[in-house]
Chain A
Amino acid sequence: MKEYLLILVGTVFVNNIVMTKILGLCPFMGVSKKLETSLGMGAATTFVLTLASASSYLINHYLLGPELAYLTTLSFIVVIAGIVQFTEMVIQKTSPVLHQVLGIYLPLITTNCAVLGIPLLNVQENHNFIESIFFGLGGALGFTLVMVLFAGMRERMEGADVPEVFKGSAIAMVTAGLMSLAFMGFSGLIK
């Protein structure tokens, strides 16, 4: 059980997929204007990612096997698209407000490189079923945590006296850069 926790904590803090692996930047930049939207987006991405890493393991292990390995990326994308579409319908039904506020970024989860990246990493480091789920969950929670923190910072920066040239996404990029600088402090924490 210890190594599962280690994977989980590892992917949330040490090698955070947004901060150290620099994956999933477009929703990270696009949705983090407001706290509620980033929470919603985080929840949606966690839901999709956990399902995706679970189903990608099953597909890779049982359906494709070694000789069809070249199909992994293709099949993963199809599965992820299916799951995202399913999630969009669930969200539209349960909370139309969140669906409207997330807007275009909800279907965009399909193209989120983190959502495809993590299953591929799972395959690369051939995690077993439980490990890949924890890895997916950890990656998504790391993504959500960092995006919510980033949304908090951006909401406070709204009122800052930022020079005209840097207003909006420019200062957001700088802040994201400094955030990943800070996350480098964790490097080496987990061997």
Chain B
Amino acid sequence: MLAALLAMSAIAIVLGAVLGYSAIKFRVDGNPLADKIDAVLPQTQCGQCGYPGCRPYADAIANGEADINLCPPGGEEGIQKLAELLGVEPKPFGSDAQPKPKSVAFIDENTCIGCTLCIQACPVDAISGAAKQMHTIIAAECTGCELCLPPCPVDCISMLPLEENVANWKWKYPVYALRPSK
């Protein structure tokens, strides 16, 4: 009986020593994963995921607090990429966070009073204008995050979905009848 205890404790001591030494030698810090997740997110900084912007959401996913299907602007392929990156099963969107077609904000110029509230709210400075001057949205820079809608006192901002034109038209997934055409 004594020999058994001795043997086991001998193994334990040897292993403890090896692991202790390597724990020091192979210390590693920082979490490169968060940057990779942030690279996948659509950077709309819209906060629909419940976090104040994409970087906080990326950090939350990295240390496992947040789920991967809370980002509607990222759409279906966003979840696909996150699932692939984290090696987990892709989850469909929850009922509340359904992705919407990409849209751009538009200021109705006859009601805008130039109060600069939307300019302060815009996460990517996509609104040009000054106090008491006319405001307008730079369509190219607007990410469609809808953060400028609530602060506007006169509700002159509306979201216009990007319509298809000859330039951004995409070929569709081919659909053909399995039955012979005749």
The verdict on A75 contacting B26 (CB below 8 Å), with A37-B87, A82-B15 known, is no
Interface flag for A78 (CB, 8 Å): yes
CB closest residue in chain B, given A76: B11
Assembled-state Cα–Cα distance A79/B18 (Å):
11
The residues in B between 1 and 46 inclusive whose CB is less than 8 angstroms from any CB of A are: 3-4, 7-8, 10-12, 15, 18-19, 22-23, 26, 28, 32-33
Inter-chain contact A75/B7, CB cutoff 8 Å: yes
Inter-chain contact A79/B15, CB cutoff 8 Å: yes
Inter-chain contact A68/B15, CB cutoff 8 Å: no
Interface of B is mostly: helix
How many of chain B's residues touch chain A, expressed as a range?
Answer: 10 to 19
Assembled-state Cα–Cα distance A33/B4 (Å):
43
Q: Which residues of B contact A92 (CB under 8 A)?
A: 26, 28
Task: Give the number of residue pairs across the A-B interface with Cβ within 8 Å.
Answer: 52
Inter-chain contact B19/A82, CB cutoff 8 Å: yes
The verdict on A103 contacting B7 (CB below 8 Å), with A82-B18, A86-B22, A90-B26 known, is no
The verdict on A64 contacting B7 (CB below 8 Å), with A78-B12, A78-B15, A93-B28 known, is yes
Assembled-state Cα–Cα distance A93/B15 (Å):
19
Assembled-state Cα–Cα distance A33/B3 (Å):
46
How many of chain A's residues touch chain B, expressed as a range?
Answer: 20 to 34
Chain A residues in the interface with B (C-beta under 8 A): 33, 37, 59, 63-64, 67-68, 71, 74-75, 78-79, 82, 85-86, 89-90, 92-93, 96-97, 100-103
Residue contacts A-B, CB under 8 angstroms, 29 given: A37-B87, A63-B11, A67-B3, A68-B3, A68-B7, A71-B7, A74-B8, A75-B7, A78-B8, A78-B12, A79-B11, A79-B15, A82-B15, A82-B18, A85-B19, A86-B18, A86-B19, A86-B22, A90-B22, A90-B26, A92-B26, A92-B28, A93-B28, A96-B28, A96-B33, A100-B33, A101-B87, A102-B87, A103-B86
